[in-house]
Amino acid sequence: MNPSVATTKASSRFRIPPGALQQLLAFASLIVLVVVFSLSSGNFLQFSNIVGILMSTAVIGVLALGSTFVIITGGIDLSVGTVMTLSAVMTGVFITFWGMPVAVGVVGGVLTGALCGFLSGVFVSKLKIPPFIATLAMMMVAKGLALVISGAKPIYFTDPHATNFSRISLGSLLGIPFAVLVFFGAAIVGGLVLSKTIVGRYNFALGSNEEATRLSGVNVNFWKIVIYTITGTFTGLAGVLIASRLNSANPALGQGYELEAIAAVVIGGTSLSGGKGTIVGTVIGALIMSVLTNGLRILSVPQEWQTVVVGLVILLAVYTDILRRRKSA
């Protein structure tokens, strides 16, 4: 981690465009971490461990991809952890309670997330409830609904017609689990939406200066709802992934996941004050989090200290962002 501070100073002399710097820094930190862990443990750089790291990035990673969108608007979505749980539970309801085909259940699960995101968007834009509060409320509503709907019991995907459900996460192609492929696929789609479409353009505009965006004739409320819905859609996808990996939908799951997702977004260089951020950054941020925890686990670092280290990394990431903005200002 120290090396990345050093690079901040060095690289500013080389005049790297400010936008790319944070991402480069994050990427450099990731490489440094991988090198350090590979040197200190022979077990780290094995194929199975790399796959394990990618696998443990998948769920939080997809949540983080979604969170990137709202965070770029300068908003936040605190509900992604529990909406993920609700989506998982609804997938279970569709497939095992109502006996729907797996594909329909999966779509239903994703749509559950999208619907929650849509509602959060309406609360934030039309009702003018601050995102923090609106999504906090959504977080509690989703948590409660997940418990009510499931009867406070896990739902298992053990119906004969649901045997393929766990393959969505656990099936593999050339040794790469589908969950990992879904994560990268979602990242590509997210990246394209953010950089190539009108949604992406308005997303950045909203985060940079909402008032100016409104004055230039953009229907700000409409696009905010769209963006929260996108976040919700990713969240629903994460719900399907987690349910499929555990082959069950547990209503007690997912608490605290929103904070890990936000941490990944922030480490990836997306600014919590909005207007700036990339999907690639978020992917790197999520990878840094899981490489770090995996590496520290393999080195048998006591878990209490692992938590301390992750906290420090978040501090460092935000601090380098502040440094960068001070310089570019």
Partner 1 sequence: MRKTFGKFVAGASALALLGSLLAACGTNASQNASGGAGEAGGDGGKMYIPIVSKGFQHQFWQAVKQGAEKAAAELNVEITFEGPESESQVDKQIEMLQVALDKKPDAIGFAALDSKASAPLLEQAKANDIPVVAFDSGVESDIPVATAATDNIAAAGLAADKMAELIGGEGEIAMIVHDQTSRTGVDRRDGFKNRIEEKYPNIKIVDIQYGGGDHLKSTDLAKAIMQAHPNLKGFFGANEGSAIGVLNAVKEMNMQGKITIIGYDSGKQQIDAIKNGEMAGAITQNPIGIGYETVKAAVAAAKGETVEPNIDTGFFYYDKSNIDDEEIKAVLYE
Q: Which C-beta is closer to partner 1: that of 21 or that of 240?
A: 240
* Span near partner 1 by CB under 8 A; candidates 92-100, 130-138, 182-190, 295-303: 295-303
In whole angstroms, what is the distance from residue 309 CA to residue 260 CA? 14
Q: Which of 245, 258, 288, 324 binds partner 1 (CB under 8 A)?
A: 245
Report the residue count for the chain: 329
In whole angstroms, what is the distance from residue 29 CA to residue 35 CA? 10
Q: Which of 221, 314, 323, 325 binds partner 1 (CB under 8 A)?
A: 221
What's the min distance (Å) between Cβ of 147 and partner 1? 6
What's the min distance (Å) between Cβ of 145 and partner 1? 13
What's the min distance (Å) between Cβ of 156 and partner 1? 6
* Span near partner 1 by CB under 8 A; candidates 112-120, 186-194, 264-272, 289-297: 289-297
* Span near partner 1 by CB under 8 A; candidates 98-106, 151-159, 209-217, 318-326: 151-159
What's the min distance (Å) between Cβ of 142 and partner 1? 13
Per-position b or e across 205-243, b if 16+ CB within 10 A of its CB: bbbbebeebeeeebebeebbbbbbbbbbbbbbbbbbbbb
Mark residues 88-127: x for contact with partner 1 by CB under 8 A, - for none: --------------------------------------xx
Q: Which of residues 38-77 bind partner 1 (CB under 8 A)?
A: 41, 43-44, 46, 48-49, 52, 55-56, 59
Q: Which residues are registered as beta bridge partners of 249?
A: 155
**Type of residue numbered 155:** I
- Chain Cα centroid distance, residue 46: 26
Q: Which C-beta is closer to partner 1: that of 11 or that of 247?
A: 247
What's the min distance (Å) between Cβ of 254 and partner 1? 9
In whole angstroms, what is the distance from residue 80 CA to residue 233 CA? 10
* Span near partner 1 by CB under 8 A; candidates 65-73, 106-114, 248-256, 280-288: 248-256
Residue 92 vs residues 16, 60, 183: alpha-carbon distances, Å: 49, 20, 21
Residues 146 and 252 sit within 8 Å (Cβ to Cβ) = no
What's the min distance (Å) between Cβ of 152 and partner 1? 5
* Span near partner 1 by CB under 8 A; candidates 2-10, 27-35, 243-251, 281-289: 243-251
274 binds partner 1 (CB under 8 A): no
Pairing of strands 176-177, 248-249: unpaired
Sign of CA dihedral 32, 33, 39, 40: positive
Q: Which C-beta is closer to partner 1: that of 31 or that of 140?
A: 140
Give me the residues that bind partner 1 (CB under 8 A), please. 41, 43-44, 46, 48-49, 52, 55-56, 59, 126-127, 143, 147, 152-154, 156, 158, 170, 221, 242, 245-248, 250-253, 255, 290, 293-294, 297-300, 303-304
